Amino acid sequence: MNIAVPENVILVNPAGYDEILTLIVNSRGVLTDSGTIVEETCVLGVPSVQMRKSTERPQVYDARSSVKFDPAEPDRYRDVFDKLELLRGGEWRHALGDGKASERIAADLLRRLKQDGFRRHRPEAYHLPIARSYGGDGL
């Protein structure tokens, strides 16, 4: 593509989950087009720039852990990096979970194992609202 990559940028092949987490926690900030990675950075306390027009993870903007960069507005990159720098070293609260999902999953699996409850998932069995998950696609 004939793109000059600055010396302080390292291009790598796709990385596994453990490697991604290591890269995130050792980063000053993360640039990504991923909705999942911005969740990870928020939970890990590392600011991020999400490079896309929209997100399925608006919670990261609510928590003020991520900066939105619309690729259709490339001339605003300086503002984006200034915002990212403002987030660096900060702390934020997020609504991305309480860190106890594994405990709930293990307890649920044990309960289902003891009660022969592996037959079906029931919407009323969830502790969070999930009605949107059962909705149609609108097509």
**Per-residue confidence (pLDDT) for residue 120, from 0 to 100:** 62
For the stretch 70-109, pLDDT in tens is 888 878 888 888 888 888 877 788 878 788 889 999 998 8
SS3 for the chain is: CCCCCCCCCCCCCCCCHHHHHHHHHCCCCEEECCHHHHHHHHHHCCCEEEECCCCCCCHHHHCCCEEEECCCCHHHHHHHHHHHHHHCCCCCCCCCCCCCHHHHHHHHHHHHHHHCCCCCCCHHHCCCCCHHHHCCCCC
**Per-residue confidence (pLDDT) for residue 138, from 0 to 100:** 63
**Per-residue confidence (pLDDT) for residue 56, from 0 to 100:** 82
Q: Which domains does the chain have, with CATH numbers?
A: 17-87 (3.40.50.2000), 101-134 (no CATH)
The band of 12, judged by pLDDT with boundaries at 50, 70 and 90, is confident
